[in-house]
């Protein structure tokens, strides 16, 4: 174990062994900041060595889903059942050693599913193929967690990802940080801070080397939120959870496991017997929040047969990328009929956020052809 790993383990242990209360909350806040800084350092070193780039996965389709779970829970069996992609399944751990993609169709969208090597606690420290898996997980649009009756500790799995900077079903904290060369550190907030009272923000910032500048809190943030904002390399990914091998469970076992996993909603599947797969695919499709955009050539009816598929929150700019031709360059404006339009035929620019079932005409600059 390198000395960096030793330091990380030491701080982790100290956090675990310190009882949280009023008297210790400052100390714990600083320890967490220290841990985050050490983990950033570990990531930087791994990148320098080329670690984390062990798998080159070409993303394709409208969205990419990563299958994340302990070894032998049935990830590869599921990939094959859903997509037909051949991914070896066997009754021993770490059968899958690289990343195997498969493709699934859902309501006009194509969804890429990545089967990955099993993840175990300690992955971020390099156990199993942990680091490589974590680096790929950071790039997916949705995580599909899988556990089974013999590996029910979903929270340990989630914590492993959290430790690697992956935030599940969250959003970035509303904290604005500006660095400066001198003048000290100012901390202000637009709301009352109940978790960072007593000047805890500054010592945390100092752990990150932030001595001059400004921190503005726009919500009642926690020390963890501040650490995330300072670390700056967090990714925010939605996730759903399935308990596989449900064929091995009684109804009452399922009920009590579902209770332990709250507030996460769980699906129960049997990849082997192909039970619950339709519900799972629907859950994946809904979680990816696809929207359908109907293109309307100028003066003609909209094409409702083949919508352009985008994700919720995407704008005209992302639509242009999906369209054939050089529309991105010749774009002048878009006209919108449908849910996102304030009135039918509203003229908007690239930044306009589209909605499901919008009808769009792209207006191009003179001399170019429209779409």
For binding to Mg ion (CB under 5 A), which residues are involved? 75-76, 95-96
Which option in Mg ion, ligand GTP, none does residue 91 bind, with CB closer than 5 to 8 A by kind?
ligand GTP
Q: How far is the CB of 292 from Mg ion (least distance, A)?
A: 33
**Given the complex with Mg ion, which of 86 and 180 has the nearer CB atom?**
86
Closest distance between ligand GTP and the C-beta of residue 98, in Å? 10
> Minimum distance from CB of 90 to Mg ion (Å)?
8
Nearer residue to ligand GTP within complex by CB, 56 or 91:
91
Shortest distance in whole angstroms from residue 13 CB to ligand GTP? 28
- State which residue, 119 or 336, has the beta carbon closest to ligand GTP: 119
d(CA 145, CA 83): 17
Least distance from ligand GTP to the Cβ atom of residue 133, Å: 10
User: Residue 224 binds which one of Mg ion, ligand GTP, none, with CB within 5 to 8 A depending on kind?
Assistant: none
Binding site for ligand GTP (CB under 6 A): 69, 71-77, 89-91, 93-96, 117-118, 244-245, 247-248, 270-272
Nearer to Mg ion, 97 or 321 (CB): 97
Q: Name which of Mg ion, ligand GTP, none residue 270 binds, using a CB cut-off of 5 to 8 Å depending on partner kind.
A: ligand GTP
- Interacting partner of 242 out of ligand GTP, Mg ion, none (Cβ under 5 to 8 A depending on kind): none
Residue nearest to Mg ion (CB): 96
CB of residue 75 vs Mg ion: minimum separation in angstroms?
5
């Amino acid at each position: 174990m390198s000395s960096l790993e030793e330091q990380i383990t030491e701080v982790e242990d100290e956090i675990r062994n310190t009882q949280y209360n009023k008297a210790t909350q400052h100390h714990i806040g600083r320890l967490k900041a220290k841990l985050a800084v050490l983990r950033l350092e570990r990531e930087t070193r791994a990148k320098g060595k080329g670690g984390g780039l062990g798998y080159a996965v070409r993303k394709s389709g409208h969205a990419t889903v990563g299958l994340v779970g302990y070894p032998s829970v049935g990830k590869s069996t599921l990939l094959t059942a859903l997509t037909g992609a051949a991914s070896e399944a066997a009754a021993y751990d770490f059968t899958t050693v690289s990343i195997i993609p498969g493709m699934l169709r859902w309501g006009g969208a194509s969804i890429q599913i990545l089967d990955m090597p099993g993840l175990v606690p300690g992955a971020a420290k390099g156990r199993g193929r942990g680091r490589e898996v974590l680096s790929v997980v950071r790039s997916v649009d949705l995580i599909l967690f899988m556990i089974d009756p013999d590996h029910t500790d979903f929270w340990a799995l989630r914590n492993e990802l959290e430790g690697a900077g992956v935030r599940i079903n969250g959003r970035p904290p509303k904290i604005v940080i500006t660095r400066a060369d001198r003048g000290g550190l100012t901390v202000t907030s637009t709301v009352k801070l109940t978790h960072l009272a007593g000047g805890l923000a500054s010592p945390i910032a100092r752990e990150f080397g932030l001595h001059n500048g400004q921190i503005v809190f726009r919500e009642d943030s926690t020390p963890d939120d501040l650490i995330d904002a300072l670390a700056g390399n967090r990714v925010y990914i939605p996730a759903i959870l399935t308990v596989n091998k449900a064929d091995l469970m009684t109804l009452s076992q399922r009920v009590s496991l579902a209770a332990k996993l709250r507030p996460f909603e769980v699906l129960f599947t049997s990849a082997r017997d192909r039970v619950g797969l339709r519900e799972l695919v629907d859950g994946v499709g809904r979680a990816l929040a696809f929207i359908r955009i109907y293109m309307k050539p100028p003066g003609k009816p909209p094409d409702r047969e083949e919508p352009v598929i985008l994700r919720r929150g995407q704008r005209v700019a992302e639509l242009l990328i999906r369209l054939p031709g050089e529309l991105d360059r010749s774009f002048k404006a878009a006209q919108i009929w449908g849910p996102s339009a304030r009135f039918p035929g509203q003229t908007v620019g690239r930044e306009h956020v589209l909605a499901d079932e919008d009808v769009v005409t792209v207006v191009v600059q003179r001399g170019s052809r429209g779409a």
